[in-house]
Amino acid sequence: MAASFPLLQVQKLLEFAMEEHKKRFDRITRKTAKGWAEAARQRMLSHYTGCPDDLRRVQAALPNINAVHNKINTMFPPKEWPHVVEAEAEAAQAAAVAEANQAKEVGLGIGMPAFTATGELCKAWMKDFQANSLVEIETMGWTFVDSAFKKETADAIVVRVSAWKRGLPSMQSSCNSFEKKVRAAYATAFVHL
C-alpha cells in the first residue's frame, strides 16, 4: 500500500523538484536534467528532519528516486514546467527564424522562400513581390518594375511558385493568380525583346 502523502508535502516536493530540475536543465539543448530527482528527495528529507512524523511519511512515500519520478510524472510532468515550456518555445522560435533564414534563396537574390516554406511565408512574399516588383500596364498586362530583372530569376520564380502550388493545396488560388502575373510580366519583359 502506498504511503499517504499530504497535499502540503506534495507541493513542497513539486517546488523542490522544479527548482532542482531548473538548475540542471540545459535550455539550449533541452536535454533532460540529470540528478534533479535525487536532489529533490534529499531536500525533502532535510526539510522534514525536524518533524519525525512528517519525515517518516516522506521516507515511506519517497524511498528512492524512482518514487520521486513517479510522483512528479503523475502530478505535473517536467515537460509541462514553465522553464521547460519556455525553452521549447524559444527553440521553436529559433527554429522558425532558422527556417526563414534558410528559406531565403540567396541564389535568386530576391529573398524568395524555399520550396518547403510555410504558406504564410509564401503568401507574404508573393504580396510583397507583387507590390514592389510587378506593375500592371494597360496594353500588355504585367511587367517587372526593374528593367534589369533577369530571365533566369523569372524562370526560377515560376518554378518555385509551381512547387508551392503542389505542396500547399490551400494556396492554390493565390499561387495561380500570382503565377499568371509573373508569366505575363515574363512575356512582356523577355518574349517581346
Instruction: Report which of residues 99 and 117 the model is more confident about.
Output: 117
Write the CB contacts of 5 (distance below 8 Å, at least 6 apart in sequence). 13, 57, 58, 61, 71
Strand runs labelled E in 38-150 = 134-137, 141-144
Residue 99 lies in a domain: no
Alpha-carbon separation of residue 51 from 45, 82, 96 (angstroms): 10, 31, 51
Number of domains in the chain: 2
The predicted structure's pLDDT at residue 105: 46
Residue 129 lies in a domain: yes
54 shares its domain with 133? no
The predicted structure's pLDDT at residue 190: 72
Q: Which of 70, 94, 118 is the last residue of a domain?
A: 94
Tell me: the pLDDT tens digits for 23-60?
A: 988 877 777 778 999 999 999 999 999 999 999 999 99
Instruction: Report which of residues 109 and 7 the model is more confident about.
Output: 7
82 shares its domain with 128? no
Between 6-15, 93-102, 109-118, 165-174, the lowest mean confidence (pLDDT) is in 93-102
Q: Which of 61, 94, 127 is the last residue of a domain?
A: 94
113 shares its domain with 181? yes
The sign of the dihedral angle between the CA atoms of 62, 66, 67, 71 is: positive
14 shares its domain with 66? yes
Give me the chain's average pLDDT, please.
Answer: 82
Between 10-14, 24-28, 169-173, the lowest mean confidence (pLDDT) is in 24-28
77 shares its domain with 115? no
Alpha-carbon separation of residue 186 from 70, 132, 143, 152, 157 (angstroms): 65, 16, 7, 10, 10
Supply the range of the domain harboring residue 148: 105-191
11 shares its domain with 34? yes
Instruction: Report which of residues 99 and 165 the model is more confident about.
Output: 165
Residue 178 lies in a domain: yes
Residue 172 lies in a domain: yes
Does position 10 have pLDDT exceeding 90, yes or no? no
Instruction: Report which of residues 144 and 20 the model is more confident about.
Output: 20
50 shares its domain with 88? yes
23 shares its domain with 55? yes
145 shares its domain with 118? yes
The predicted structure's pLDDT at residue 138: 76
11 shares its domain with 88? yes
The residue assigned the cell 519556455 is 86
144 shares its domain with 186? yes
Rounded to a whole number of angstroms, the distance between the first and last alpha carbons of the chain is 88
- What is the SS3 string spanning 88-99? HHHHHHHHHHHH
Q: Which of 74, 94, 114 is the last residue of a domain?
A: 94
123 shares its domain with 184? yes
Residue 182 lies in a domain: yes
Instruction: Report which of residues 190 and 37 the model is more confident about.
Output: 37
pTM equals: 0.50
User: pLDDT band for position 107 (50/70/90)?
Assistant: very low
Does position 108 have pLDDT exceeding 70, yes or no? no
Residue 1 lies in a domain: no
